[in-house]
Chain A
Amino acid sequence: MAHRTGIEVSLAIAEAARQAEVEVISAYPITPQTHIVERLAKMVADGDLEADFITVESEHTAMSAAVGASLAGARAFTATSSQGLALMDEIVYLASSLRTPVVMALANRSLSGPISIWNDHSDIMNVRDAGWISIFANNGQEAYDLTLMAYKIAEDHRVLLPVMISFDGFILTHMIEPVCVFDDEEIKGYLPPFNPPYKADPEHPVTFGPVGVPDIYTEAKKQQDFAIRSSISVIKEVFADFEKEFGRKYKPVESYMAEDADVILLSQGSVYETTEIAVDRLRKEGKKVGSAEVRLWRPFPFEDLRKAVANAKVVVVLDRAISFGGQPGPLLGEIRSALYPLEKKPGVIGVTAGLGGRDIMIQDYEKMFEYGYNYLKTGKEPEAVTIVGLRE
């Protein structure tokens, strides 16, 4: 039987990778992700995990080796953060276009500069269009569960795409949390053996990643986009099966007290759980508020989002990154464009907070709801970029 234990979230993720029986781990240490691969290296060295741990000289190579391993038919795992992900970028795009079901644990950390090892979402936003399935975990249990589910989704022949699981650096990675960890026996067989349709095999030669001449490239990109768009049904299926088997429920869009809410605060990652506390407090004051989260970031869950916020008057979007000179938050832009086609739609306004590890306090969330109510009353949007918690 599964046992509930206090475990550092990074180590729980390493445990999930072990139980997924990954065959190749290719990673480079970077704060705040390091504990994950450090633990995996130890498991391999101690003989607790039969896998090749490839020590590489950079994240660019970490991702290259993971993609190569996957093409060779191995279940591959990597993990990174921030600058590491930025350095991988070139191969991040290749992993998805080569349709390699690599799983990456991404401990979200802000991008330099100034140098910051602390948490925000600028790293993941940098790769949102890279063609990976991208899912947010909000606590240790979710990070553990989703790492296991990631392989189930990625390796499904209807999908064959890499999956990244995002979880907030330090806020989660370095926390000891109660996590229900499966016994090995219980989870054995959850993942069928990895059996890709093509692999690097001298008996059946295949050329991966040939030049896509102008006659081919367009069709290749359409094929790739079709794959990720259609993966949403497989993702939902995997979530539903997991719930049936193990009792924990995951949804592409999570929501709390949102059905009858006038103002919904929408966010991603661990802050979503804190928004629930703010909702409870404001509900006690009689305010009809709720919160929601876009857990599944790619493929974007258009229908689920529309359903979750359909009845609200205002959606306040909390961004953990800035789209400089743009939206101004990447999440805000996505939410606005997803709701735009609806005839009856809520107003959508945006705020930014929690950059580079800045704490977001309960009062800050209350302030965000206030922006929502203010918009309801006056129609006035917070100007770009409104950062809650900024000294000015």
Chain B
Amino acid sequence: MKLSEKPKWQELPLAASIVEPATSLEYKTGDWKTLKPVVDTTKCIRCATCYIFCPEAAYEENEEGYFLPNYDYCKGCGICAVECPAMCIQMVEEEAE
């Protein structure tokens, strides 16, 4: 059973346990957010603080060593924007883009 499915009670694994490992990847928390973090890579010092602090482990490192959030999982909590020492993460409304 995938987490995204809505099983009948007869189909639910015993005690609603998650019996396959690593299914959290299928659970996209991206649609929780109203504000999304936008990284200004011109100011980023590539320190990885955002990567470490993000509770969803949404930051991914690109080839140039910059860290960018994966919006499928970013839930918009804003922790990265507060913690970034270069203050180069802006929380912006998704529609505003």
Q: Mark B1-22, 1 if CB is under 8 A from A, else 0.
A: 0000011111011111111010
> Does the CB pair B15–A207 fall under 8 Å?
no
> Does the CB pair B14–A219 fall under 8 Å?
no
CB distance from B11 to the nearest CB of A (A): 8
> Does the CB pair B16–A216 fall under 8 Å?
yes
Residue of B whose beta carbon sits closest to that of A99: B15
Q: A371 to B82, alpha carbons, bound, how many Å?
A: 73
Q: A209 to B12, alpha carbons, bound, how many Å?
A: 13
Q: Mark B30-72, 1 if CB is under 8 A from A, else 0.
A: 0000000000000000000000000000000000000000000
How many residues in B have their beta carbons less than 8 Å from beta carbons of A? 14
The one of B9, B17, B21 in contact with A219, judged by C-beta atoms closer than 8 angstroms, is: B9
Looking at chain A, what size class is its interface with the partner chain? 20 to 34
Most chain B beta-carbon neighbours within 10 Å: one of A198, A212, A217 = A198
Q: A329 to B63, alpha carbons, bound, how many Å?
A: 71
Q: A317 to B50, alpha carbons, bound, how many Å?
A: 66
Residue of B whose beta carbon sits closest to that of A208: B17
Q: A210 to B16, alpha carbons, bound, how many Å?
A: 7
Query: Which residues in A have their C-beta under 8 angstroms from that of B17?
Result: 198, 206-210
Query: Which residues in A have their C-beta under 8 angstroms from that of B12?
Result: 216, 219-220, 223
Query: Which residues in B have their C-beta under 8 angstroms from that of A205?
Result: 21
Query: Which residues in B have their C-beta under 8 angstroms from that of A220?
Result: 9, 12, 15-16
192-217 of chain A: CB within 8 A of chain B: 197-198, 205-210, 212, 215-217
Closest 6 CB pairs of A and B: A207-B18, A219-B9, A205-B21, A220-B16, A222-B9, A99-B15
Q: What are 27 A-B pairs with beta-carbon distances under 8 A?
A: A98-B15, A99-B14, A99-B15, A160-B14, A198-B17, A198-B19, A206-B17, A206-B18, A206-B21, A207-B17, A208-B17, A210-B18, A215-B6, A216-B7, A216-B16, A217-B16, A218-B9, A219-B7, A220-B9, A220-B12, A220-B15, A220-B16, A222-B9, A223-B9, A223-B12, A223-B15, A226-B9
Q: Which residues of B contact A (CB under 8 A)?
A: 6-10, 12-19, 21
Q: Which residues of A contact B (CB under 8 A)?
A: 97-99, 160, 197-198, 205-210, 212, 215-220, 222-224, 226
